[in-house]
Amino acid sequence: MQDVLAMTYLWLKAGHIIFMVFWMAGLFMLPRQMIYLHPAASDSEQTAIWTKRMGLLRKVILTPSLIIVWVLGLLLAMTIGAWDQGWFHAKLLIVIALTGFHGYMVAQAKKMTVGERPLTEKQLRLWGEFPGIALALIVVLVVVKPF
């Protein structure tokens, strides 16, 4: 029985890491795509192309990866009893912030596809750094477990 639990844990962990990488890639790509869309006129061919690309990124990579990361992450937390560990609470807080970032950027992208420009290119570049900082903090928390 111990072997089955150990193998399940390893498969959950592998899946969580794989889909976390997909999700992070999407979170890095979306602000960049929004920067490319920024100068385009709302009724241009360029806007249509970037609208399609951002929609596919959201539907094929971002949202499915977000869901799988959460499901596998919660299963992992239950498997290892992480609920009582301080590092896990900090990680969970950052993942909640990343989920909020995901939702915020998707909402801004949808506004941009109809011609609005709610964020400047500079703001998009700054927001584009958030996933990298969050990822670095999460890796330190999971690997080092400082508390």
* Element containing residue 139 per DSSP (H, E): helix 130-144
Ligand-binding site membership of 52 (annotated):
no
Ligand-binding site membership of 38 (annotated):
no
CA distance linking residue 35 with residue 83, whole number of Å: 39
The answer to whether 27 touches 102, Cβ cutoff 8 Å, is yes
The answer to whether 145 touches 87, Cβ cutoff 8 Å, is yes
Q: Is 4 exposed, middle or buried (0-12, 13-18, 19+ CB in 10 A)?
A: exposed
CA distance linking residue 111 with residue 71, whole number of Å: 29
Using only C-alpha atoms, the chain has a radius of gyration, in whole angstroms, of 18
CB atoms within 10 A of CB 8: 13
Feature table: binding site: 16, 91
Feature table: binding site for heme: 16, 91
